[in-house]
Amino acid sequence: MYISRTIVKVFVGCCASAFLMEILMAQAPNNANLVTFLQFFFIALQGFIFTSKFGTIRPKIPLRHYTLLVALFFVTSVSNNYVYVLHVPSTLHMIIRSASSPASMIVSWIAKKQAPKMTKCIGSVLISMGVTLAMYGGATIAEQNEGEFMYWCIGVVILMSTLFLGALTGLQQESLFAKYGKHPDEMLFYTYALPLPLFLGIYPQLQERITNSTMDMWFIIALSIVSQFYCTHSVHELATKETSVTVTFILTLRKFVSLLISSFVFKNNLTVLHVIGTVFVGVGTYVYFDFFAQRRQQPVSMKDKSF
């Protein structure tokens, strides 16, 4: 029950955040780092007030153990934003990021030296294929051809790197929760508060974007900040209940839902590839969570069934 409620919160918060970010990037793609900084600042401020009680509560997880987690998280966030500046086609951007579930599984396999179940491998690949097909189906010809070759190559390298860095981030979270207990609010606070000084390196860019942003843009940014807080809080809560691989899988499903919303709202062009992609995602989800085995192993009789 609680896991299902958390998953719903992840979908609502993260889909809203992605929707607002798409609006912002369509109007001002150079605002990506400004939005990221403000999201970090708001979440850190909220955590400082309500989680650390103005610094009076000591962290349950030693601060030194947050170093690697914060470094991975910050580099991943800023690198993903930089890809927008390189004018990498949005289709290619989304297609590569849709492979986050298999990447997470590979990293987990290497780190834990334990092969994942075949159903999880197949399900992970199926959903990534489904998201890829749907994303490609929603792309315009201009998007497919956009971008200079050199920028394209640099962008692909960055995206592939952040794919595995993101998987390492999830694995590090899982490791800290296993060692020190589950403290999602604390982890959310420190992963957003500790990197704030690093934004000084792009201060001139932030100052320029603050000056040039309109009132309408600030309104959308404010909504984006709130939705991102709700999204990240829900994801950290989910991370206390599921493995990093399953969390990544659920987030990939969320990306697919965001894609469908984007197609209907911004483009309104449902193609055959969207339909095929939807089938792949549905089957992949069913296989990943091994519902076939659950049905075989847990037959339900009427006398055991409660209403």
Most confident listed range (166-175, 231-240, 259-268, 297-306): 231-240
Within 10 A of 137 (CB to CB), how many other CB atoms are there? 19
pLDDT at 306 over 80: no
Q: Which residue has the higher pLDDT, 106 or 2?
A: 106
* Distance between CA atoms of residues 245 and 101, nearest Å: 7
pLDDT in tens, 127-148: 778 777 776 665 554 444 555 6
Q: Which residue has the higher pLDDT, 99 or 28?
A: 28
Q: Which residue has the higher pLDDT, 167 or 78?
A: 167
pLDDT in tens, 163-181: 889 889 888 888 999 999 9
What sections of the chain are H helices per DSSP? 2-27, 32-50, 66-85, 90-97, 100-112, 118-137, 141-145, 149-180, 184-193, 203-212, 215-239, 244-262, 272-288, 291-297
CA distances to 102, 108, 170, 175, 207 from 111, rounded to whole Å, are 14, 5, 12, 11, 41
* Distance between CA atoms of residues 67 and 51, nearest Å: 19
pLDDT in tens, 253-291: 888 888 778 777 776 566 777 678 778 887 877 787 765
**pLDDT tier at 300, thresholds 50, 70, 90:** very low
* Distance between CA atoms of residues 196 and 192, nearest Å: 7
pLDDT at 298 over 50: no
pLDDT at 13 over 80: yes
pLDDT in tens, 39-54: 999 999 999 999 999 9
Mean predicted confidence (pLDDT) in 206-214? 91
Q: How many CA atoms lie within 13 A of 35 on its CB side?
A: 32
- pTM of the predicted model as reported, rounded to 2 decimal places: 0.78
Helix 118-137 × helix 100-112 angle, to 10°: 150
Q: Which residue has the higher pLDDT, 239 or 279?
A: 239
Averaged confidence pLDDT in the chain = 81
pLDDT at 191 over 80: yes
Which pLDDT score is estimated for 145?
A: 52
Residues near 63 by beta carbon (within 8 Å), at least 6 away in sequence: 190, 194
Residue 43 in contact with residue 229, Cβ under 8 Å? yes
Within 10 A of 295 (CB to CB), how many other CB atoms are there? 10
Which pLDDT score is estimated for 139?
A: 55
pLDDT in tens, 61-73: 999 889 888 888 8
